[in-house]
């Protein structure tokens, strides 16, 4: 599915389920990993995760579009558009949108490369990125952190 087809699909869903036109732009986001879509409050465009454009995820894509259109129409109408708002929950249920984007295997577990150990209480802090040990201390006892090799700890 390309940009024009996605735009047309969103406009059709907006008219059919919300009975209001979608007057802004839909964009495809290739970098999304943990979410299916995103509504932008500032310029009202909607971004859709590129991975959900595959034919096998079409039903999930429809649910994601309905979810983002709930944000869109409620925000423009001045009603509660956040996930926690009753207006949002009621409209989402009425149109049959998805509450959460399904996990299709895009979430990658980050490998912890760096292991810091507290000199005082021996608490272990696995991290993906390096820490500045002059700036950060142990969260439990405020002791000094030392970088260790994985095989030194386990």
So which residues are the catalytic ones? 68
Strand ranges for the chain from DSSP E: 26-29, 37-39, 46-49, 114-118, 124-127, 145-148
| CB-based contact 140:133 (threshold 8 Å) | no
| Integer Cα distance of 81 and 71 in angstroms | 5
């Amino acid at each position: 599915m390309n940009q024009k087809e996605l735009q047309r699909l969103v406009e059709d869903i907006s008219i059919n389920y919300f009975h209001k036109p979608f007057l802004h732009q839909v964009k495809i986001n290739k970098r999304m990993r943990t979410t299916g879509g995103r509504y932008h409050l500032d310029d009202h465009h909607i971004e859709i995760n590129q991975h959900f454009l595959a034919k096998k995820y079409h039903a999930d894509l429809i649910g994601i579009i309905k979810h983002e259109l709930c944000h869109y129409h409620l925000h423009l109408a001045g009603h509660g558009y956040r996930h926690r708002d009753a207006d949002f929950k009621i409209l989402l249920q009425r149109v049959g949108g998805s509450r959460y984007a399904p996990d299709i295997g895009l979430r990658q577990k980050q490998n912890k490369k760096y292991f810091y150990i507290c000199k005082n209480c021996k608490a272990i802090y696995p991290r993906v990125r390096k820490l500045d040990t002059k700036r950060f201390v142990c969260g439990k006892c405020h002791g000094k952190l030392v970088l260790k090799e994985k095989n030194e700890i386990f």
